[in-house]
Amino acid sequence: MGNPKKVEAATLETKNGNKKLKKEYTQTIFRDWCKRCGICAAFCPQKVIVLNEDGMPWIADPAACIGCHFCELHCPDFAISITRNGAREVA
Ligand code: SF4
Ligand code: SF4
């Protein structure tokens, strides 16, 4: 899905010597506002968001989030929020 080089460029924030920093994000779903349309899961390029058997979205792989905000921008009910936490070192 998508261009892997593009994803890597978006994920790696900077290089500090030989150490790379990866941005980290928190995904919050406001379940009371969600109407289970599935748009967020359909648009997520990283499959961070998946739907359970009732059609309710849940965060399956939070660490894979690249902060593209597609889910937040396309949710018709403003039921998802993406916030940046900071960055951690990756090998
Ligand atoms: S910000 Fe992008 S990668 Fe992260 S959960 Fe939303 S759509 Fe997926
Ligand atoms: S796009 Fe919004 S309303 Fe639709 S399933 Fe996702 S969180 Fe719920």
pLDDT reported for residue 62: 96
**Does residue 13 lie within any of the structural domains?**
no
65-89 burial code (b ≥16 CB/10 A, e <16): bbbbebbbeebeeebbebeeeeeee
> What does the block give as tokens for 44?
């997520």
48 C-beta neighbours (distance < 10 Å), count: 23
> Average of pLDDT values for 33-46?
98
d(CA 18, CA 30): 39
pLDDT reported for residue 76: 98
Contact 29 CB / ligand 2 (< 6 Å): yes
pLDDT reported for residue 27: 97
With the C-alpha atoms ordered 5, 68, 51, 64, is the resulting torsion angle positive or negative? Answer: positive
pLDDT reported for residue 10: 43
**Does residue 4 lie within any of the structural domains?**
no
**Which CATH number goes with the domain that contains 32?**
3.30.70.20
The tens digit of pLDDT for each residue in 3-38 reads 444 444 344 445 556 678 889 999 999 999 999 999
**Does residue 64 lie within any of the structural domains?**
yes
Contact 38 CB / ligand 1 (< 6 Å): no
Domain count, the chain: 1
**Does residue 8 lie within any of the structural domains?**
no
**Does residue 61 lie within any of the structural domains?**
yes
Closest C-alpha residue for ligand 2 atom 2: 75
